[in-house]
Structures are given as structure tokens and as C-alpha cells.
Structure 1
Amino acid sequence: MPWIILFVAGVLEVIWATAMKSSNGFTILVPSVVTVVTMLGSFFLLSIAMRSLPLGTSYMVWTGIGAVGAFIAGIILHGEAVTAQRMAAAGMIILGMLMMKSAS
């Protein structure tokens, strides 16, 4: 169960990062509210997952989900560049998360 909670916390991190981009520096109300609410939810769920999972593993997987998810959201929603180097970097983050999980 802590891994599922951690995954949901990571997904919420992707949502708040994407909403923050859409908030235009917190000048647009709805994305600003979505940012704050999902940020709080993400932190709360991360804290619950950390009750059972090691700190380093929890934080690394949470930030990894957020980083790769935001990368994908940027490509889909904002037309950000897809290059071999960016794809390789995202792949290394995913590999690092898998290695960290298997080591825990």
C-alpha cells in the first residue's frame, strides 16, 4: 500500500507542476488553486508513504515520478522538444527509480 500511495503522490506532483505552468506565475485563479491543492495532497501522501518506506527511496521515487511526468506533460500539453538526449535523461531517471525500489 505505501508504494501505491507514493505513486499517487507522484502523480499529484505532476498535476501541480503542470498547473503551476498554466497559472502564469499565480496570476490565473483556477490553475493557481489546482497547484496549491494538489501540492498539499502530494506532500500529505508522501508523508504517509514515508511512514513505511525509507526517506531516500520515497523522496527519490516521488521526485522521479514528478520529473518524468512533468517532462511528458510538457511534451503533450506545451509542445516541448523531444530529443534523444532528453529521452535518454528521462530513461535514466526511470532506471534510477527502478533500481532504488528494487534495493528497498
Structure 2
Amino acid sequence: MDRTEADRYAHSDVAERSRREKAVALARYLWDRDISADDLAAMPAATRRKLARAAEINPPSSDETWTVVARLLEEKAAWAAGRPETPRPNRDEKILWVKPPVQPW
């Protein structure tokens, strides 16, 4: 596929649908681990790639997909704000991906 074909594909309906499916799967994985859109935005690209692989998803090649993931996480957080019982089965895994800053002594 030459550059022109790649550009056409990147903005096609098929690419958009594929990007959306990948974003939904990533957002579900992150939500279950209590990783927010802000946490995601603060992550280096290398960590996001590792996170996608841990979710058994081929890492997105563009920031467009990660932007959709962040938007989905924000929408889910707004929806869950009034529903504290919303389960997050792997919440304890958050520390593996989002480390709190180390406090000085």
C-alpha cells in the first residue's frame, strides 16, 4: 500500500469503525482497572503501548484512537458518577500502570 492509499484508508469508514472497536475494547480494559482519562493523558506512549498489549490489543498507531479512548472513559465516568456500585473488577491493577508520586520524607 503506497502513501496515498494509506491516507485514504486512514479516513475511510472501515478505518473509523476499526478505530472505534479498538477504542471501546481499550476503554473497557482501562475502566476495569480504574484508569481515568486524566491518567491516560499523563502516560508516556511506551506505557500506553504496553497497556494495549496487556489488554491483548494491537497498540493503536495513532493518537486519534487514544483520544477516542479518553472520551469514552470520560463519558463512562460521568455515567457512573451517580452509580457508586458500578463494578471495577481489576481496580487493584491500577497501581501497575499509574504510580502515585513518591512523597519526600
After TM superposition, the score normalised by the length of structure 2 is: 0.31
Which structure's residues are more often helix, by fraction?
Answer: 1
Given the two structures, how large is their TM-score scaled by the length of structure 1?
0.31
The one of the two structures with greater contact order (alpha-carbon pairs below 8 A, sep at least 6) is: 2
